[in-house]
Structure 1
Amino acid sequence: MTDLTCMPETSPWRNCRALASLPEPGCAEPGADASAAAPAPASPSTSASVDGSAAARRRDMPRERLRTAGPAALSDVELIAILLGSGLPGHDVFGVARSLLAHFGSLRAMLDAQREEFEALRGIGPAKAALLQAVTEVARRSLAEALDDKPLVDSPGAVEDYLRLLIGGRPHEVFVCLFLDARHRLIRSEESSRGSLTRMAVYPREIVRRALMVNAASLIVAHNHPSGAVQPSASDRRLTRVLRETLALVEVQLIDHLVIGARDTFSFARHGWN
C-alpha cells in the first residue's frame, strides 16, 4: 500500500493474394489450344496492384465501419490504426497498432506514455508520437472544460473522470489540488507534489498557503496509486485528517480527498471520512 507522508509544518517542500489457381501442365483437353487453356501468369505490376488494393481495403474497413456503426463498434487496434494512418514496409498499420498495445499493456498506459517511449518503438516516429500525445491532451482538456462554470459538488462523475485521465495512469505518485470558489466552481487545478512509486511527501501548510493565494473557499484534493488499488493507507487517512483540520483554521473547506486508480476511485467523503 502506498506510503503517503504528511510532512509537519517545519519541514521544507520537497495477403493474402486472390489469384486463380493455375492448371497443372498437360491438363488441357485433347485438341484444345494449350495457350488458351492456361491463363497467362500475372505480371509483377499486376500482382503489386492486387496487393495494394487488398491493403487499401483493409485500411478502409475500420473507417467505413466507423461511419456506419460509430466509433464504439471498433476495437482498440482499429481505433489506433485509424490514428496512425500508415504502417511500415512489410508491417501494415494493424500490426503496428497491435505492437503498441502489446508493449504498453493497455490504452491508458499507452496514452500516458512520454514521447521518448513512443519514438523508441518500430513504426512510431516523431509525427505519430506527437499525434498520440495530442489525442490524450485533447481528451484531458475536453474533460476540464466540462468542469468549468458549474459547481463541482454537482458533478462528481466528471471530476473523477478528469482525475483518472490526469493522474490515473502515472507510473509515480502525484498529489493534485482543485481549488474552488465560494460557489464550488473550479478556479484552478495544480500539481502540489510528486513522488516515487510508493512514497510521496505532502505539506498541508503549503496547500493552505496556495488556497489563500488563489482566494479559494474550498478544494478537492486527490492522489493516485500506481499499483491500481485504491484502498487508502493509514498515512492517507492521517493526511486527510490533518489537512481538513489545517484548512478549517483558515475557513477553507476540504470537500473530498480522492484516491485514484486506473479504473477505480475511493472517496473519503462518501466513506464518511474514515
Structure 2
Amino acid sequence: MRSDSNRTAGGAAPEAAPAGPTADPTAGPDAAPALRPPPAPAVRKRRRRRKNEHEDRPRERLLDRGPAALADHELLALLLGNGIAGFSTAGIAEAVLRHFGSLRALLDADPDTISELPGVGPARTAVMIATTELVRRALVERASERPLVDSPGAVEDYLRLTIGTRAREVFVCLYLDAQHRLVRDEEATHGTLTRMAVYPREIVRRALELKAAALIVAHNHPSGAVRPSAEDRRLTRVLHDALALVDVRLIDHIVVGASETFSFAQAGLM
C-alpha cells in the first residue's frame, strides 16, 4: 500500500497555510472578502490631489463655505466666466481690481474703460454692468418698503454705493410718498469734473408729475471732501423754497464722498 505523500511521518496531515482575509461564511462562493487591503500610496496621493483641487476651486468653495470664504478677485472671476488664451480668469480679475483700486471704483467705472482692459471685452463688461444694476435695484426695492426718514444710515449707505465714487459730479433726487417711502430715484443732472448745473424748476415739475410728498436730494464730491460749499448752501435754500410753494417738503440735502457723507438736516441747516 502506497504511503500518502501529504502526510507527515507521524501520520497527521500538515496544517494549512493562512488563507488571508476571512470571507463571510454565509456568502456564496463568489463573494468578495470582507476586508480589503489599503490603497497603494499612489492611489492615496491622487485622491488627496483631487480633494485639494476641489477645495481650491472658487466655485466649489463658494458653494461649500459661502461667499465669505472667497477674496474679491475670486468672486469677480466667477462673474467673468472662463479665461481666454494667454489669460486665466483669476489673472484677469486681479488685474481689473488693481487697475481700479477698489470694487466700488470698478462698479462706478465707465463701460468703455472697463472693456478696454486686457482680457475683458464687451461681454464681460456687460456682466459687470448688469450685476451692478441688480444690486442697485435691490437697494431701491428695500428703500421702497420702509420710510427712508426712519433709516438715515441706510440712505447714506445707498448713496455712497450709487454715487460716492463717481468721477464727475452728479445730482440725484429721491422722490418720496406721503409715508416717506421711495417712489423714484432719478439723476437730475450730470456735471463736469468741477461744475454741475441744477435747475430747481425741473425738479419741482418732476415732483408734481410723480405726486411726491417729499424729497431727499444728494450730490457727490469727486474730491472726497464732503464739506458743503457756499453754492451747495445756496442751492439748498432755493430748492427748499421752490418745493414749499407746491407743498412738497425737502427733507435733506446730502453731500456724498467715497467714505463719508454730510447731511444738511443733521447739521441743522434745513
TM-score by length of 1: 0.74
User: CA contact under 8 A between 1:143 and 1:158: conserved in structure 2?
Assistant: no
Seen in structure 2, the aligned counterparts of structure 1 residues 83 and 57 have a Cα distance that, compared at 3 Å, is farther
| CA separation of 1:88 and 1:250: change in aligned 2, threshold 3 A | same
2:85 to 86, 89, 93: 89
- Judged with a 3 Å threshold, the aligned counterparts in structure 2 of structure 1 residues 86 and 221 are, in CA distance, closer, same or farther, namely same
Q: Tell me the distance in 1 between the aligned counterparts of 2:189 and 2:219.
A: 9
CA deviations 1:73-108 (Å, max 9, x no partner) are: 322111112222322333322211111011112111
Partner of 2:120: 124
Task: Tell me if the contact between 2:55 and 2:61 (Cα under 8 Å) persists in the aligned partners.
Answer: no
Larger radius of gyration: 2
The 3-state SS of whatever aligns with 1:197 is: coil
Distance, in Å, in 2 between the alignment partners of 1:68 and 1:214 is: 46
Aligned to 2:64: 68
Percent of aligned pairs with the same amino acid: 63
**Contact 1:143/1:161 (8 A) holds in 2:** no
- Separation in 2, partners of 1:272, 1:180: 21
**Cα distance in structure 1, aligned partners of 2:54 and 2:194:** 45
Aligned residues: 222
Q: Which structure 2 segments of 5+ residues have no match?
A: 1-45
Q: In 1, are the aligned partners of 2:115 and 2:125 still within 8 Å (CA)? A: yes
Q: Secondary structure at the match of 1:177?
A: strand
Aligned to 2:94: 98
Shift of 1:248: 1.8
RMSD, aligned α-carbons: 2.3
> Is structure 2 residue 107 aligned with structure 1 residue 111?
yes
1:58 CA displacement: 8.3
1:60 Cα shift?
4.6
- Matched letter for residue 267 of structure 1: S
So what's the TM-score if we normalise by structure 2?
0.75
Give the equivalent residue in structure 2 for 1:77: 73
CA deviation vs aligned residue, 1:227-261 (integer Å, no higher than 9, x gap):
12212111111111221122222221111111112
Deviations 1:179-227 (A, max 9, x none): 1121112221221111111111112222222222222111000111111
5+ residue gaps, structure 1, are 1-49
Matched, 1:251 2:226: no
